Amino acid sequence: MAPRLFAESGADLELVGIQKRFPGFTAIEELSLTIPAGSFFALLGPSGCGKTTTLRLVAGLEEATAGRILIGGRDVTTTKPFQRPVNTVFQSYALFPHMSIIDNVSFGLRRRRIPDAFGKAHEALRLVELDHLAARKPSQLSGGQQQRVALARAIVNRPALLLLDEPLGALDLKLRRQMQLELKSIQEEVGLTFLHVTHDQEEAMTMADTVAVMNKGRIEQLGPPDALYDLPRTAFVANFLGQSNLFTGPVVATTADSISVDIEGHRIVVPKARAQRHSGEVTIGVRPEKLSIHLAEPATVAGGNLLGPGRIVDVSFGGVSTQYLLAIPGLGTVVVFVQNLGAGPLLAEGAEAWVSWKVEHGFGLEDEPLPTSRFPSDADTASIAVQKKRAILSELEEA
């Protein structure tokens, strides 16, 4: 295990039945969660779902309408912000422009007359690998370096809990990815508890031990990133954390360990253990990268599900993989990711194709199915090919 540069470890955070109402608007419906000491916890959700409000409640910048907040077992619900063992790193670095980096980082310690403020600040700067730039002014650093200084300035206070509010939002994509890995390794090194809010699903999955997906002031699902991705329980999680193909239909047969769902005449099998509901109308799904494309109808798909034929209506080359949209009459479009093992896309627009996947890769949601036959997927709303696809689909359906 990496040596701990800071002796104190983080404290756990408990939110118990938190509700936050603003005049005329409830931002947090009901929130209860426990974040274990020393963990990297991400609150992930779309704009306006209540992430920042949650952080502000923990920091003491907002007062909860109901519920309790405990840090390291101590009830801090009514404690003033500066009395909480918490520091926040925001998207804007908010460094003092006229002060050197070392003066910025040591500022809080010096103001509180903590002994050896400069020594501690240098130690924090070494941690973010910027000690060699300690004499510079913030304007002489890049955005990523300034963000690391902001992190050092928060860590140097040795808070039990570090709150990160979209701290990498202002950085370009490449730097953001690099900083994600650095932030994760710094957290492992210092052993503090990090609570990070972001709307970037890749960021949450890359860094956090535990991700809580938030929607409209509630946590929809919480768990380790790989488990959430593998087995989303709601349509919102299935499409917010990555993309999913979702289909709705009645359960027409069950065995001891699987259910069969009729999707517009196609029989799709899902393991019972991976399906939240086992009877009636259900919504089932599969991730795009779990699908295989076939240009001729396979004679058999042992242990698998098959859909088709359909027509490829869009091909988007994405470097690592190619995204195909397959329009299947009666079913809408299916998104397929195929790894680019050759020089470019394998299939062309207009080709007839089938898709198959292993039964063990399907999942069944707990949502009551929508009245329409299927949920719109991300690709439906995001792809520039939507109009074209719809036209071909209606042509196919008319034929």
DSSP 302: T
CB count in 10 Å sphere of residue 251: 19
Binder of ligand ATP out of 13, 15, 42, 49 (CB under 6 A): 49
Say which residue the tokens 């990160």 belong to. 164
**47 touches ligand ATP (CB under 6 A):** yes
Instruction: Give the number of other CB atoms < 10 A from CB of residue 57.
Output: 24
Q: Give the interface segment with ligand ATP, choosing from 22-30, 95-103, 151-159, 252-260 (CB under 6 A).
A: 22-30
Per-residue contact flags (x/-) with ligand ATP for residues 175 to 214, judged by CB under 6 A: ------------------------x---------------
* Burial zone of 294 (CB within 10 Å; 0-12 exposed, 13-18 middle, 19+ buried): middle
Cβ distance to ligand ATP smaller for residue 48 or 318: 48
- State yes or no: residue 167 binds ligand ATP (CB under 6 A): no
Compute the least distance from the CB of residue 240 to ligand ATP, in Å: 12
Would you say 17 or 250 has its CB closer to ligand ATP? 17
Pattern 345-364, ligand ATP, x by CB under 6 A: --------------------
Number of residues binding to ligand ATP, judged by CB under 6 A: 12
DSSP letters for 153-196: HHHTT--SEEEEESTTTTS-HHHHHHHHHHHHHHHHHH--EEEE
45 near ligand ATP, judged by CB under 6 A: yes
CB 327 within 8 A of CB 313: yes
For 87, residues 6+ apart whose C-beta sits below 8 A from its C-beta are 154, 155, 157, 159, 161, 162, 163
Q: Which stretch binds ligand ATP (CB under 6 A): 31-39, 44-52, 97-105, 118-126?
A: 44-52
Alpha carbon 319 to its chain's center = 22
Q: Which is nearer to ligand ATP, 48 or 250 (CB)?
A: 48
266 in the Ramachandran plot: left (φ > 0), alpha (ψ -120 to 50) or beta? beta
225 lies in the site for ligand ATP, by CB under 6 A: no
Residues forming contacts to ligand ATP in the complex (CB under 6 A) are 22, 25, 27, 45, 47-53, 199
